[in-house]
Amino acid sequence: MGFSFQLDSLQRQREEMVRTQLADRGIRDLRVLEAMQRVPRHEFVPQPLWNSAYEDRPLPIGEGQTISQPYIVAAMLERLALQGNEKERVLEVGTGSGYVTALLSLLSGEVYSVERHAPLAASAESTLQRLEYRNVKIRVGDGSQGWPEYAPFDAILISAATHEMPPALFAQLREGGRMMVPIGPIRQSGFALDPQSRWTARSKNSRRLPVRAAGDVIALSVRRWSDGRLARPV
């Protein structure tokens, strides 16, 4: 009975997370909200942290890594604008606990995820299989090299903040495809948010770039075009 009560409590916490941390803070994509409602975040953190699983903050998952806070995850998924058709192919760089992988599996057709830490990859794969997320493949490797055997990808999501665009990943993005690249904390990124819009920022050379602000973190929205353009609102 105690375990059943705990699961009911976690379900209520998840519903409150979606309502207060996501919808009330501007996440509008109903598919993203539904996915965040369906995926049990507590299953992707150590059991001693279950009662903290639906707080809007990162949590440790081992190997010096964390599971990202829910709002940042939702904001990036919304900006990635996945269509949900069965042929849509997504590359995730940084599997971590597998939580975002599970969300991507509900929002797209096929998910290919690369994780450099073998213990995390094994744990994520085990959890995803147990929870019956079937349209996912995981491998251990250098995420900056992507997964060329399954390229091109309709969308690429990079989990860890970076200061440069990995060329191998851009080469594996389908023409017209979308990529979300976390730049990191605004104060350390070399960018300043445009005061007229939460969707753009200016770099040090005053170039306007499409970004998504999520708290004090911004992520660059990139689309691949045949004429070589990299950055354009998605």
- Do 107 and 84 meet the contact criterion of CB atoms below 8 Å apart? yes
- Amino acid at residue number 178: R
Structure tokens of 71? Answer: 């709002």
Say which of 52, 68, 105, 221 is annotated catalytic: 68
Give me the sign of the Cα torsion angle 122, 139, 157, 23: negative
- State yes or no: is 97 an active-site residue: no
DSSP 74: H
Tell me which residues are annotated as active site: 68
